[in-house]
Chain A
Amino acid sequence: MSMNQRTRYVLVGGAGVMAVGLAGGLAAWVSSSLPSLALAQERPDELRYVPPEATILSFANVREVMDSDLRRRLREIQPELDGQREFQERTGIDIERDIDYVVGGLVPDGSDDTTGIAILAGRFDTERLEALALQHGGAASDYQGRRLITIGDESAAMAFLESGVIAIGSEALVKRTIDLPSSGGGVDADDSLMGLLRHVDSGSTAWTVGRLDNPGGGEWLPDQVESQVSQVAAFAIGARVNGGVSGRLTAEARDEETGRNLRDLLQGLLALARLQMGSRPELRGLLDSLRLTSAGANVTLAFDLPADAVLELLPDRPDANAANAP
């Protein structure tokens, strides 16, 4: 080797910087990915009651929202939600305290339509709820050892799945929910859908993930926009609610080119929205907080709204300054 000592030092030095940098970056990347894995482990158990055919799945930690600083600010402005007292008087459920979280799923019903199922976890007075249903023309029966209450013309039903867990949806879907544990499990075993949770930040208060194999309902959009949206294969949105609302929406396009086009489209829409900010000043906080990035076929829109910006967005909100006044 004719390479001299000095040259070797430079090569080793450069390689050393790279090795340390890449090792450090890799360690940081692994540790930042771990919370996502942890989130997967923290999936609510109630996901097993959502049928595996579900294409869209949602979760909301109601208790955390109610305990958040943002909710406290809202409560100062508007001490009580519309109809909250009446709801509590009739059902015995205080939505500020009694509901821990809600899991929901949208399931195709065989035709072009979808039906929904909601699983509520918390503390419920089941007898009072059953009595209320019967009082409004509902019928109670036992199904697979669980109490099933159908309401009205049997299009809606409610079942007490276990202590503190209620399923609400169409009768057929609620019955399917009851059957699930004995017929192969729920959506929590669907890696394709659950895998989308990797786009959701750890500790998110609420999230929704979905696969759009045959997206529809965008007919009201301009043709160009609709054609781009129809190329979205899946999406995930996660948000954390505390002092404000922060999170990100990720769309998985069908291929990289579509991903780029979608990013360009969103960039254009954001630019358009900014142009119109003069007539909608309340949107300034929201638009300023948006950050668009893309990697491969994925396009991500991150947002971080402080409490004030959220309050700005409330329709017909009372004068915040008056509420804060001594």
Chain B
Amino acid sequence: MVDANARPAFGRAALRVFDLGLGQMLWSRRTVFMALIAGGPVLIAALLRALASLPTFDAGAGQIGGRAVSLDGPDIFGLMIWTFYLRFTVPVLGVFYGTALIADEVEDRTITYLFTRPVARGAVLAGKYLAYLACTAVVVLPSVTIVYFLVVPLLGGSIGRNFPALLVDLGLIGAGLAVYGAVFALVGAWFRRSLLTGLVFVFGWEPLVVVLPGYMKYLSVAYYLQGLAPHAMPQGDALSVIQALLTSVQTPLATWVNLAALALIWTVALAAAMRAVERREFVLGQ
């Protein structure tokens, strides 16, 4: 007969769910999509590298809009980190995986087996969230590292001198995956049309509020990530315009404020998501 008190603690239960969920998540249909968006920058970087090896390539002095632009490998890498990863890959993966943490189990009708075990439902969400982090990190972070080694040496850039910036970038992308994942886990637990809600947040709300004056920008994740980006953008006029479009106004917040804001968003979103999952009924369709 059973020992009625034998029940794994929250952390252990979350790790068990992580173990169970990681393989399912990694080999899901979304992995193809993730491989495409994480592999895209690598392909572009390889293309740039190939172009740079051509004898006709004019190193250093590009022309944009008829004006001279001083651009080197670290500048291009910084631009790629911001445009490809922080403003696209990270939030998009957050939306697609975060909103599906529980929804996938419901759709596949496997949620029953998890929610009839003697573990808190919050632990199930936490375990799935950890699996999401591992799954995305194991694809995105190597992609960033490969892009770094392909792009930074271009046009006289130094791999060694820019290495600390790579570490900051990796940390920033990890933080972005964590915070966006938590926010969209909450969206997935709260909203019925969670994917649509998430996409509207990423491609509608965030780009809009970070350029608007006032306090609305504080209700975004991108604003705080932007404040932590280590790269100063290239100084050519045309690229300055691009920079202005992409980064909007310069953040006046100190690093610790940005970090504290991200930590707060992460904590509140994850706790609220767990609470929502604990209280919500998941009715499987026939």
> Interface residues, chain A, CB within 8 Å of chain B?
1-4, 6-7, 10-11, 13-15, 17-18, 21-22, 24-33, 255-257, 260, 263-264, 267, 270-271, 274, 284, 288-296
Q: B19 near A270 (CB under 8 angstroms)?
A: no
Asked if B237 contacts A274 (CB within 8 A), the reply is: yes
Q: Which residue of B lies closest to A34 (CB)?
A: B160
Interface of A: prevailing SS: helix
**Chain B residues within an 8 Å CB radius of A270:** 235
Flag whether B252 is at the interface (Cβ < 8 A).
yes
Q: B26 contacts the other chain (Cβ, under 8 Å)?
A: yes
In the bound complex, do residue A294 and residue B232 qualify as a contact, i.e. CB atoms below 8 Å apart? yes
Docked Cα-Cα span, A7 to B135, in Å, equals 10
Whether B70 contacts A289 by the Cβ 8 Å rule is: yes
Give the residue of A25, A256, A288 whose beta carbon is less than 8 angstroms from that of B163: A25
Contact B27 A32 (CB under 8 A): no
Provide the B74-111 mask, 1 if CB < 8 A to any CB of A, else 0: 11000000000000000000000000000000000000
Could you tell me the distance between the alpha carbons of A255 and B256 in the complex, rounded to whole angstroms? 12
> Smallest CB–CB gap between A260 and chain B, Å?
7
Task: Please name 9 pairs of A and B residues whose Cβ atoms are closer than 8 Å in the assembled complex, sorted by A.
Answer: A3-B22, A13-B142, A14-B141, A15-B138, A26-B163, A257-B252, A257-B254, A291-B234, A295-B165
Contact call A17/B160, Cβ cutoff below 8 A: no
Evaluate contact between A10 and B142: CB separation under 8 angstroms: no
Known: A3-B22, A263-B232, A295-B230. A14 touches B139 (CB 8 A): yes
Which of A7, A17, A271, A296 has a CB less than 8 Å from the CB of B145? A17
Query: B-side interface residues toward A, CB under 8 Å?
Result: 19-20, 22-23, 26-27, 61, 67-68, 70, 72, 74-75, 134, 137-139, 141-142, 145-146, 148-149, 158-161, 163-167, 230-232, 234-235, 237, 240, 250-252, 254-255
- B237 & A271 in contact (Cβ 8 Å cutoff): yes
Chain B residue at smallest Cβ distance from A22:
B145
Q: Are B141 and A18 in contact (CB under 8 A)?
A: yes
Q: Which residues of B contact A7 (CB under 8 A)?
A: 22-23, 26-27
- Is B68's CB under 8 angstroms from A288's CB? yes
- Give B61's nearest chain A residue, CB to CB: A288
- In Å, the complex CA distance between A45 and B254 comes to 41
Q: Measured between alpha carbons, how far is A288 from B134 in the docked complex, in Å?
A: 43
- Residues of B contacting A288 in the complex (Cβ-Cβ under 8 angstroms): 61, 68, 70
